[in-house]
């Protein structure tokens, strides 16, 4: 629990600490956002030993990262998972813990991490009572991207420079796998059509719309399409419907590891996905991403780097239809919980982004 009076004042160390602990358990996209913060701290404090407490699935993506000790938390083990973390950290105390995850599960994990300075988000962003588990808070800054919010922890520590690197470690075998899969005379488009399945999480575009986009890619650009996703009933259903259109379509749904997926995104010409982990994994590789956003705000959770403006943003329209106000009048990060909201994104919206990216080389 918290120790002392919380403060939001900038409080740099007089000298770099010997060690530092990061806590971000999930999800895939949010763990991708941790990387610039991690690399920023490493560049400023090269002698500081960094430990990252992370979820088991997310560790599969980040495993092998240079200069980082990982402590994995298995949420499926419940209280035993907490005790596993406590056991691995027994006899240690960190000068500082950066709690980058505002959730009750993360709060409980943070309680078993020995640390003197326990830094979390400002009161407005410290969801699920995170503020009770910290003794220091970063300053409140409104309307930030999630990645910028995490970089605020470095500024709070007195680190004013940034190292915007998303270098997810991928081995040569994974790159070879991706190179073989993406061999094609025309452009290669990876489509990850579905987001994770959670209650009232309406982020998925329709199968028919994806089919229309695939046909456009094939007929206009002679593109090869590769489908990716988890091995779920919904995603396999999407893949079967899209593959039934014929042409150059490779179905890799449920057939790739996270590392292979990163390599595949890196080798592709463009990635299309709704608000989900693959958007941020692909962004990390520097590949062009067409994010499909209507129920969530891309200003907060969209591709962090979108220099060509490829993201399809129908969130303002969805907010207006759902709440009768503009985006400026709703809470930053307000979700639209309408199952029909994604239908505001048209096929023409997506093909226009594809044309902006691919037409010059057609």
| Residues 268-288 pLDDT 10s | 999 999 999 999 999 999 999
Rounded (10°) angle between helices 28-44 and 146-156: 30
Indicate where the chain has its CATH 3.40.50.2000 domain(s): 19-156, 172-361
Decide: 250 and 217 in contact? Cβ < 8 Å.
no
pTM beyond 0.85, yes or no: yes
Residue 4 has a pLDDT of: 42
Cα three-residue angle 72-31-193, rounded to 5 degrees:
115
Instruction: Give, in words, the CATH class of 19-156.
Output: alpha beta
Q: What is the maximal distance between C-alpha atoms in the chain?
A: 64
Low-confidence ranges of the chain (pLDDT < 50): 1-5, 7-10
What is the distance between the alpha carbons of residues 315 and 302, in angstroms, rounded to a whole number? 11
Cβ neighbours of 326 (radius 10 Å): 10
Residue 344 has what DSSP assignment?
Answer: G
In the block, residue with structure tokens 């994770």: 196
Decide: 279 and 302 in contact? Cβ < 8 Å.
yes
Residue 300: partners with Cβ closer than 8 Å, 6 or more residues away: 143, 144, 145, 146, 332, 333
For the segment 235-254, what is each residue's pLDDT rounded down to a tens digit?
999 999 999 988 899 999 99
Which CATH topology does 172-361 take? Rossmann fold (3.40.50)
Residue 307 has a pLDDT of: 85
Residue 11 has a pLDDT of: 61
Residue 201 has a pLDDT of: 83
């Amino acid at each position: 629990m918290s120790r002392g009076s919380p403060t939001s004042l900038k409080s740099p160390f007089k000298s770099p600490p010997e060690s530092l602990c990061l806590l971000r358990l999930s999800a895939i996209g949010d763990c991708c956002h941790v990387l610039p913060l991690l690399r920023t701290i490493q560049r400023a404090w090269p002698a500081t030993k960094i430990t990252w407490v992370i979820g088991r699935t997310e560790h599969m993506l980040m495993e092998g990262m240079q200069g980082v000790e990982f402590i994995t938390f298995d949420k499926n083990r419940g209280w035993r998972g907490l005790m596993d973390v406590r056991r691995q950290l027994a006899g240690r105390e960190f000068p500082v813990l950066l709690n980058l995850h505002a959730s009750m599960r993360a709060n409980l994990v943070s309680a078993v991490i020995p640390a003197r300075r326990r830094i979390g988000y400002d009161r407005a962003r410290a969801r699920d009572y995170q503020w009770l588990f910290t003794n220091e808070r970063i300053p409140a800054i409104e309307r930030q991207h999630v990645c910028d919010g995490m970089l605020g922890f470095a500024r709070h520590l007195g680190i004013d420079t940034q190292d915007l690197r998303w270098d997810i470690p991928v081995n040569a075998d994974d790159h070879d796998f991706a190179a073989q899969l993406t061999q094609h005379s025309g452009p290669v488009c990876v489509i990850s059509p579905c987001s994770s399945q959670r209650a009232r999480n309406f982020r998925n575009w329709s199968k028919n719309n994806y089919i229309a986009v695939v046909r456009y890619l094939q007929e206009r650009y002679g593109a090869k399409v590769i489908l990716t996703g988890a091995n779920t009933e919904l995603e396999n259903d999407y893949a079967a419907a899209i593959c039934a259109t014929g042409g150059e379509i490779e179905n890799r749904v449920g057939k790739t590891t996270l590392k292979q997926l990163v390599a595949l995104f890196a080798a592709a010409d463009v990635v299309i996905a709704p608000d989900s982990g693959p958007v941020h994994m692909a962004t990390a590789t520097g590949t062009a991403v067409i994010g499909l956003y209507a129920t969530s705000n891309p200003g907060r959770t969209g591709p962090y780097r979108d220099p060509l403006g490829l993201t399809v943003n129908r969130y303002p329209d969805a907010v207006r239809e759902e709440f009768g106000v503009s985006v400026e009048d709703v809470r930053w990060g307000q979700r639209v919980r309408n199952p029909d909201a994604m239908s505001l994104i048209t096929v023409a919206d997506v093909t226009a982004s594809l044309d902006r990216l691919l037409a010059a080389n057609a």
